[in-house]
Amino acid sequence: MSGSKCTRLGGPLVKQVLESVDSVLFDCDGVIWRGDQAIPGAAQVINLLKENGKKVFFVTNNSTKTRKMYADKMNTLGFDATEEEVFGTAYCSAMYLKTVCKVEGKVYLVGSNAMKQELEAVGIQQTGVGPDLISGKQLDWANVPLDADVKAVVVGFDEHFSYMKLNRALQYLSQPGCLFVGTNRDTRLPLEGGKAVPGTGCLLKAVETAAQRQAETVGKPNHFMFDCVASQYGIDPNRCLMVGDRLDTDIMLGSNCGLKTLLTLTGVSTVADAEAHQKSGCAERQGMVPDYYVDSIADLLPALQG
Ligand code: PLP
Ligand code: CA
């Protein structure tokens, strides 16, 4: 197999690479779908990988859905997937709080209803989900009523993010021993036509700035996402391929965990971005250089069909 990195994956090399792995981790947005539209051929690739005996998992930094919601979306789009194969940051953050932080008490959640459901599924109660409306009389910001059971602040994607939530998070984080966990640091969510909207990283930065503290983050590129999969399914990193569209999250996760890495060009990052990291000579940036790249994961189809 080629010794150099950032190699176009095509021809006989596809089969060789697929034969060298037992499991494949797929990022979701920009890899298997874009928004609500499946990438053409992606469902066939996933389904054929499974028919060929590969274990397939989905690792997404998007905290707005439960495992069940992802599995339902995948099934609707023609993917053969179960909720046990989905590792999103809503679920993984709940696992992190339970198994790593061993949090006892409630969580102040700046996040989605899906996060609330995943927290509750592992026995962690939350306060904070939904709009936190400022009452006309509430002007004593530093003395807002707090819940004495709260032992951690957790920040994910929250469409109801507000000054009041930011303030409440700061008040909790000023208490001794209060844990601080974020789902992920993606700063922008790219949309069709070159547009973008603010990602969870913006909300997390706001809370970190207010609290003058750094959160621990669960999502890619933190190895916890892979640890979750590996501990449940006994994955050998040497025989595992990470497929993603972002160099700073997906490819970095793969590098951090000793996986083979494949960049697909249907999302955020480009080959030029990867080459710039490679040529930089900066040791840290080498983790963002993928082993291989493809235009689309549909490029794997011929090797799976033949
Ligand atoms: N976070 C949010 C809120 C999103 O909507 C998305 C993509 O839609 C992401 C993160 C990135 O998800 P992924 O890791 O699947 O690319
Ligand atoms: Ca992605």
Give per-10-residue mean pLDDT for the chain (306 aa): 80 97 98 96 98 98 98 98 98 98 98 98 98 75 93 98 96 97 95 92 98 98 97 98 98 98 97 97 95 98 93
239-263 CB burial, b ≥16 within 10 A, e <16: ebbbbbbbbbbbbbbbbbbebbbbb
Pocket residues for ligand 1 (CB within 6 Å)? 27-30, 60-62, 64, 157, 186, 189, 199-200
Q: Can you tell me the distance from the alpha carbon of 105 to that of 285, in angstroms, rounded to the nearest whole number?
A: 39
Which residue type occupies 88? G
Residue 89 falls within a domain, yes or no?
A: no
Q: Are residues 191 and 277 in the same domain?
A: no
Q: Give a yes or no: residue 143 inside a domain.
A: yes
Distance from the alpha carbon of residue 226 to the mean position of ligand 1, in angstroms: 17
Distance 131 CA to ligand 2 centre (A): 28
Of 29, 132, 186, 299, which is the active-site residue? 29
Contacts for 138 with CB less than 8 Å, ≥ 6 apart: 144
Q: Which residue, of 182, 217, 252, is where some domain finishes? A: 217
Which residues, other chains included, contact 240 with Cβ-Cβ below 8 Å and sequence gap of 6+?
21, 22, 23, 24, 25, 257, 259, 260
End-of-domain residue from the set 182, 198, 217:
217
CA distance 216 to 222: 9
- The tally of CA atoms less than 13 A away on the side-chain side of residue 58 is 31
pLDDT at 1: 42
DSSP 3-state of 10: coil
- Ligand 1 atom nearest the C-alpha of 27 is 15
Tokens of 196: 């973008």
Locus of tokens 């807002």: 144
Cβ–Cβ < 8 Å for 115, 129: yes
Residue 36, annotated as binding a ligand: no
Distance CA 167, CA 51 (A): 51
pLDDT attached to residue 75: 98
Q: Convert the pLDDT of each residue in 82-128 to its tens digit.
A: 999 999 999 999 999 999 999 999 999 999 999 999 999 999 999 99
- Closest CA to ligand 1's atom 16: 29
Task: Clarify whether residues 182 and 114 are in a common domain.
Answer: yes
Range of the domain at 29: 7-61+221-305
pLDDT at residue 2 in the model: 42
| pLDDT tens-digit map of 269-279 | 999 999 999 99
Confidence (pTM): 0.96
Torsion sign across C-alpha atoms 282, 267, 252, 293: negative
Provide the number of structural domains found in the chain.
Answer: 2
29 is catalytic: yes
Q: Is the domain of 138 the same as that of 210?
A: yes
Q: Establish whether 27 is an annotated binding residue.
A: yes
Closest ligand relative to 28 C-alpha: 1
Query: Pick from 147, 182, 217: which residue ends a domain?
Result: 217
Same domain membership, residue 192 and residue 159: yes
Residue 27 among the catalytic residues? yes
**ipTM (interface pTM):** 0.97
Identify the CATH number of the domain in which residue 131 sits.
Answer: 3.40.50.1000
User: Do 230 and 208 share a structural domain?
Assistant: no
Judged by its nearest atom, the ligand closest to the C-alpha of residue 225 is 1
Q: What is the pLDDT of residue 140?
A: 85
Give the Cα separation of 155 and 168 in Å (integer).
12
Q: Is residue 1 part of a domain?
A: no
HSE, side-chain direction, 13 A CA sphere, residue 118: 32
**Does residue 187 sit in the same domain as residue 112?**
yes
Residue 30 Cα, ligand 1 centroid: separation in angstroms? 9
Q: Within a domain: residue 94?
A: no
Q: Is 220 annotated as a binding residue?
A: yes
Ligand 2 mean position to 184 CA, how many Å? 12
